Structure 1
Amino acid sequence: MAITGHIVLVCIPGWGHLRALVVFACKVIQQRPNIGVTILTAGNIIQKVETEISRHFAADDDAKDNIRVLSVLEQNANMFHLISNTAEASMRFYESIYRQEQTTCLVSGKTFPPWISPKLVIINIFLDIVQTARTINPTATVLGWAPTNNSSMIRQYGPEELGGAGVISVKAIVEAERTGKPVKQIENELSRPENGDVIQIPGLPPMYDNEFIPQQKIPVLEDANTAFAKASQHFIRQADGIITPGTSAFEAEALAAVKKWQSENRKEMYIVGPLVPIEDGSGNKLKKLAQENESAASDKGSEIEEFLEKILHEYGAYSMIYIAFGSSWWPDSKQIWTFVNVLIEQKVPFILARPSPMAVVPDDIAAKVHESGIGLFSTWTPQQLILAHKATGWFLSHCGQNSVVESMAEGVPMIAWPILGDQPDNAALLSLKLNVAYQLTEARTGEAGLKALKRGVQPTGTIQAVEREAREVLEKARGVDGEIKRKNAHAIKARMKEAWEENGEASTELRRLLEKEFPSK
Structure 2
Amino acid sequence: MLSFGNTTATIFVVGPDELGGRGDVSTKAESLAKETGRDIHEIIIELFMPNKGETTDLIGLPKVYDYECHNMKATPFMISVLTGMYPKMFKLFHNCDGVVATSNRLFEPESNDTFKSYYERSGRSYYVVGPLALTSTDQLSRERSSDRDAVKRFLGRMLQKRGERSVIYVSFGSTYWPLNVEASWKVIKIICEKQIPMIFVHNDEYGRPPMPNSLRAELETSRSVLITTWAPQNMVLGHKATAWFLTHCGLNSISESLSHGIPMIGWPADVDQPINAMYIGDLKHNVGYELLEVLQRDESKPLYRGYTPSGTLEAIEKEFTTVLQNAFGRDGAEKRHNAERFKEELSGLWDEDGDAQMELRRFIKDYLS
TM above 0.5, yes or no, is yes
2:2 equivalent in structure 1:
144
Residues 1:174 and 2:21 are matched in the alignment: no
Q: How many residues align?
A: 365
Of 229, 233, 236 in structure 2, the residue corresponding to residue 386 of structure 1 is: 236
1:386-421 per-position Cα deviation (integer Å, ceiling 9, x unaligned): 111111111111101111111111111110111110
Equivalent in the alignment of 2:289: 438
Map of 2:358 onto structure 1: 508
Say whether 1:330 aligns with 2:177: yes
- SS in structure 2 of the partner of residue 249 of structure 1: coil
Q: Is the 8 A contact 1:299 1:381 kept in 2?
A: no
Quote the residue 1:120 is aligned against. none
Q: Which amino acid aligns with 1:440?
A: L
Equivalent residues in 2 for 1:247-286, closer than 5 Å? 247-278=104-135
Structure 1 unpaired stretches of 5+ = 1-142, 279-286
Checking the alignment, whether the CA contact within 8 Å between 1:151 and 1:202 is kept in structure 2 is yes
Q: Name the aligned partner's letter for residue 138 of structure 2.
A: L
CA distance in 2, matches of 1:301, 1:354: 14
Q: Hey, what's the Cα distance between the residues in 2 that align with 1:209 and 1:327? A: 27
Q: d(CA) in 2 for partners of 1:262 and 1:493? A: 29
**Alignment check: 8 A CA contact 1:354 1:380 kept:** yes
Q: Which of 225, 228, 235 is the aligned partner of 2:82?
A: 225
**Counterpart secondary structure, 2:324:** helix
Secondary structure, aligned partner of 2:100: strand
- Runs (5+) with no aligned partner, structure 2: none
Percent identity of equivalent pairs:
35
1:216, distance to aligned residue in structure 2 (A) = 4.6
Separation (CA, whole Å) in 2 of partners of 1:316 and 1:474: 17
The reply on whether 1:454 has 2:301 as its aligned counterpart is: no
Q: Deviations for 1:122-151, whole angstroms, at most 9, x for unmatched residues?
A: xxxxxxxxxxxxxxxxxxxxx00112x110
Matches within 5 A, 1:58-207: 143-147=1-5, 149-207=6-64
Q: CA-to-partner distance for each residue in 1:326-371, whole Å, 9 max, x for gaps?
A: 1111112210110011111211111111243224222111110112
Question: Residues of 2 paired with 1:472 and 1:157: CA distance?
Answer: 36
Encode CA deviations 1:55-82: one digit per residue, 9 max, x unaligned: xxxxxxxxxxxxxxxxxxxxxxxxxxxx
How big is each residue's C-alpha offset from its partner over 1:169-199, in whole Å with a ceiling of 9 and x where there is no partner?
1111111122111111111110111111110
The answer (yes or no) to whether the contact 1:176–1:183 under 8 Å persists in 2 is yes
Residue 383 of structure 1 aligns with an amino acid whose one-letter code is Q
Counterparts in 2 of 1:281-300, with a 5 A limit?
A: 287-291=136-140, 293=141, 296-297=143-144, 300=147
Q: CA deviation at 1:299?
A: 5.4
Instruction: Report the Cα offset of residue 202 of structure 1.
Output: 0.8
| In structure 1, C-alpha distance between the alignment counterparts of 2:272 and 2:30, rounded to whole Å | 26
Q: Deviations over 1:446-489 (max 9, x none)?
A: 316x3221111211111111111111000110111101101111
| Bigger RCO (CA 8 Å, 6+ sep) | 2
Give the deviation of 1:305 after TM superposition.
0.3
Give the letter for the 2:356 counterpart.
Answer: A
Contact 1:151 1:204 in 2 (8 A): no
TM-score computed with the length of structure 1 as normaliser: 0.68
Give the secondary-structure state (helix, strand or coil) at the position aligned to 1:277: coil
452 and 215 in structure 1: CA distance in 2 versus 1, 3 angstrom threshold: farther
Structure 2 distance, partners of 1:298, 1:150, is: 35
TM-superposed CA distance for 1:444, in Å, is: 2.3
Deviation (angstroms), 1:379: 1.6
For residues 225 and 388 of structure 1, the distance between their equivalents in structure 2, rounded to whole angstroms, comes to: 37
- The one of 310, 318, 342 equivalent to 2:165 is 318
**Per-residue deviation, 1:298:** 5.6
2:268 to 406, 411, 418: 418
> In the superposition, relative to structure 1, how do residues 299 and 159 fare at CA in structure 2: closer, same or farther (>3 Å)?
farther
Q: Distance in 1 between matches of 2:264 and 2:79?
A: 27
Contact 2:41 2:79 in 1 (8 A): no
Question: What is the DSSP-based 3-state SS (H/G/I as helix, E as strand, rest coil) of the residue aligned with 1:352?
Answer: strand
> Please, what TM-score do these two structures have when normalized by structure 2?
0.95
2:102: which partner in 1? 245
Q: In the alignment, does 2:324 pair up with 1:474?
A: yes
- Whether the aligned pair in 1 keeps the contact of 2:49 and 2:72 (CA below 8 Å) is no
Equivalence for 1:346: 194
Preserved contact between residue 311 and residue 349 of structure 1 (Cα < 8 Å): yes
Summarize deviations over 1:8-42 as a string: whole Å, max 9, x none: xxxxxxxxxxxxxxxxxxxxxxxxxxxxxxxxxxx
Select 2:148's aligned residue among 292, 297, 301.
301
Conservation of the 8 A alpha-carbon contact between 1:205 and 1:428: no
Please tell me the residue identity of whatever aligns with 2:19: L
CA distance in 2, matches of 1:201, 1:379: 36
Q: Secondary structure at the match of 1:235?
A: helix
